[in-house]
């Protein structure tokens, strides 16, 4: 529920950031550097995992590396739910983001150490820190404004979103280049330095934030806190003992980690949707809207399952099968990871204008149609990828224009589905779960990535033409299902369009 808030401090009352509260500059810069660290590390992750020991990597197979990558990304999004809960019950958003930034920074520096154990420990730290930071920093952007009626609010989130993409665009160009061409661990260290810069800016600029960001909305009592801590320590001890036994008996493989996390990433989203849908406190209208929302959630999971392979399947293809030079310029394969944020920055304003233009003429597609377009386009992107795989058969190195087109089509699909999904989530959220539903939306990413992890663990070759064709078919079938059932979905949504 939006609340009126006082200006952050008199010292900053006269300052503005493109006509917005100065606190937006603090959060914009913090998020830009955090995304710089995250996307820079992500651009290197699969490449480092699959690089041979002689090249300084860990020497994992492509399927194992993809499973690790997919589980890691899924956990980042899964942990946004407990991250929001920690802010609501323990620390408030402001302190939670500060702790999260510190944990992320430690995680990146652990990746920089030349030891396998510290590397995987670093991934755990980054996932936990991202869960603490991701949802709460967005919450604090909203708290800078007096409420939904503030005309600057949407513009503020647009500026904040540009910060995300600026960091994501620059990261592979800097961190990817250093990691691939100089030293993997130096690249990971640069990611840690980036997060350190973002954290320093955040701590210095805390006074520019809304006072409400320090408030713990529903604090736990002392006994409740003690109970939560004891339960957490108990399950941590169980995990430590279990893996000590597995390791001590010589049975440990990476699957002992990836498979349980994959199962959690598939079961938990399903359980969360079931829990909300069957809550007796929901009104009949809210229950009906949740039925419609489940259609969108499943569609989004299919979309992200394919889309998020940009950092794994496509990244591996860029390294092994693409001639990484264009117009005489040679570049590392990780640079392809900058294409999506570049396209987002170029096309995002165009799509925002286009939807408004169509809405003014009562011709804007409804939500279900936009979701179908997103699914058709992500399927089309992998149809293009099929062409690239065919061109690369026999060991040929293909032109980088293939991947440029794949990422372009995916980005257009993202702009049809992702912002719309965020918006419809806020519109369909039952009152009781208003603050939790954004975390539920992120669980669609978790479910999609865990499906990819499960497939690779089961032996699927994501770079095979048969599997890619199956993904194209799945996206098209899902898009057709949404399109054909749009009238039924519209009935479930009631007045929401």
CB-count burial class (<10 Å; 0-12, 13-18, 19+) for 239: exposed
**Beta pairing partners, 398:** 322
Report the pLDDT value the prediction gives residue 10, as an integer from 0 to 100. Answer: 45
Is it the case that residue 11 has pLDDT exceeding 70? no
7 phi, psi to nearest 5 deg: -60, 150
Report the pLDDT value the prediction gives residue 337, as an integer from 0 to 100. Answer: 95
Neighbouring C-alpha atoms within 13 Å toward the C-beta of 163: 22
Portion of the chain with pLDDT greater than 70, in percent: 94
pTM confidence score? 0.89
Cβ atoms of 201 and 72 within 8 Å: the answer is no
Portion of the chain with pLDDT greater than 90, in percent: 60
pLDDT tens, residue by residue, 177-209: 999 999 999 999 999 999 999 999 999 999 898
Q: How high does pLDDT run on average in the chain?
A: 89
d(CA 208, CA 205): 6
Look at the block and give the residue holding tokens 């997919």.
70
Is it the case that residue 496 has pLDDT exceeding 80? no
d(CA 38, CA 351): 26
Report the pLDDT value the prediction gives residue 67, as an integer from 0 to 100. Answer: 93
pLDDT band with cut points at 50, 70 and 90 for residue 13: low
Give SS3 for 325: strand
pLDDT tens, residue by residue, 299-325: 999 999 999 999 999 999 999 999 988
Report the pLDDT value the prediction gives residue 6, as an integer from 0 to 100. Answer: 42
Mean predicted confidence (pLDDT) in 156-181: 90
pLDDT band with cut points at 50, 70 and 90 for residue 45: very high
Distance of CA 457 to the CA centre of its chain: 22
Q: Which domains are present in the chain?
A: 11-219 (1.20.1250.20), 223-252 (no CATH), 253-497 (1.20.1250.20)
d(CA 391, CA 69): 26
pLDDT tens, residue by residue, 62-93: 999 999 999 999 999 999 888 888 888 888 88
Least confident of 120-134, 383-397, 433-447, 451-465: 433-447
Looking at mean pLDDT, say which of 80-84, 144-148, 246-250, 442-446 comes out highest. Answer: 442-446
DSSP code, position 8: S
pLDDT tens, residue by residue, 241-272: 988 898 888 877 788 888 898 999 999 999 99
In sequence order, the 6+-apart residues with CB closer than 8 A to the CB of 357 are: none
Mean predicted confidence (pLDDT) in 206-235: 88
Of the candidates 372, 442, 377, the one whose C-alpha atom is nearest the C-alpha of residue 411 is 377
């Amino acid at each position: 529920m939006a609340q009126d808030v006082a200006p952050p401090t008199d010292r900053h009352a006269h300052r503005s950031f493109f006509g917005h509260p100065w606190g937006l500059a603090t959060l914009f810069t913090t998020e830009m550097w955090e995304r710089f660290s995250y996307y820079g590390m992500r651009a290197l992750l699969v490449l480092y995992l699959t690089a041979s020991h002689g090249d300084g990597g860990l020497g994992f197979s492509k399927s194992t590396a993809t499973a690790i990558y997919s589980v890691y990304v899924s956990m980042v999004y899964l942990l946004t739910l407990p991250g929001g809960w920690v802010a609501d019950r323990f620390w408030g958003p402001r302190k939670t983001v500060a702790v999260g930034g510190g944990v992320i920074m430690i995680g990146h520096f652990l990746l920089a150490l030349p030891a396998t154990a510290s590397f995987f420990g670093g991934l755990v730290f980054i996932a936990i820190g991202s869960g603490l930071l991701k949802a709460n920093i967005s919450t604090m952007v909203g708290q800078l404004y007096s409420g939904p009626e503030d005309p600057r609010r949407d513009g503020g989130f647009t500026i904040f979103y540009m910060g995300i993409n600026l960091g994501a665009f620059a990261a592979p160009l800097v961190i990817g280049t250093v990691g691939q061409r100089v030293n993997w661990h130096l690249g990971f260290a640069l990611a840690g330095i980036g997060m350190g810069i973002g954290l320093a800016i955040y701590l210095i600029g805390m006074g520019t934030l809304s006072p409400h960001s320090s408030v713990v909305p529903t604090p736990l009592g002392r006994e409740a806190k003690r109970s939560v801590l004891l339960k957490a320590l108990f399950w941590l001890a169980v995990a430590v003992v279990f893996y000590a036994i597995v390791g001590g008996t010589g049975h440990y493989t990476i699957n002992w980690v990836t498979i349980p996390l994959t199962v959690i990433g598939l079961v938990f989203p399903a359980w969360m949707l079931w829990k909300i849908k069957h809550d007796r406190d929901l009104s009949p209208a809210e229950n009906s809207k949740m039925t419609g929302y489940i259609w969108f959630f499943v569609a989004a999971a299919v979309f992200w399952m394919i889309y998020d392979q940009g950092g794994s399947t496509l990244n591996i293809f860029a390294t092994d099968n693409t001639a990484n030079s264009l117009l005489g310029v040679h570049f590392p394969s990780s640079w392809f990871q900058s294409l999506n944020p570049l396209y987002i920055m170029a096309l995002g304003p165009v799509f925002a204008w286009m939807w408004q233009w169509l809405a003014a003429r009562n011709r804007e597609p409804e939500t279900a149609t936009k979701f179908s377009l997103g699914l058709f386009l992500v399927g089309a992107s992998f149809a293009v990828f099929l062409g690239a795989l065919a061109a690369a058969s026999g060991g040929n190195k293909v032109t980088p224009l293939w991947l440029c087109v794949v990422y372009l089509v995916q980005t257009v699909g993202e702009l049809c589905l992702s912002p719309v999904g965020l918006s419809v989530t806020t519109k369909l959220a039952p009152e009781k779960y208003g603050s939790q539903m954004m975390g539920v939306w992120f669980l669609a990413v978790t479910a999609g990535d865990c499906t990819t992890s499960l497939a690779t663990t089961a032996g699927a070759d994501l770079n095979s033409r048969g599997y890619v064709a199956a993904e194209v078919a799945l996206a098209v079938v899902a898009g057709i299902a949404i399109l054909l059932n749009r009238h039924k979905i519209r009935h479930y949504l009631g007045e929401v369009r």
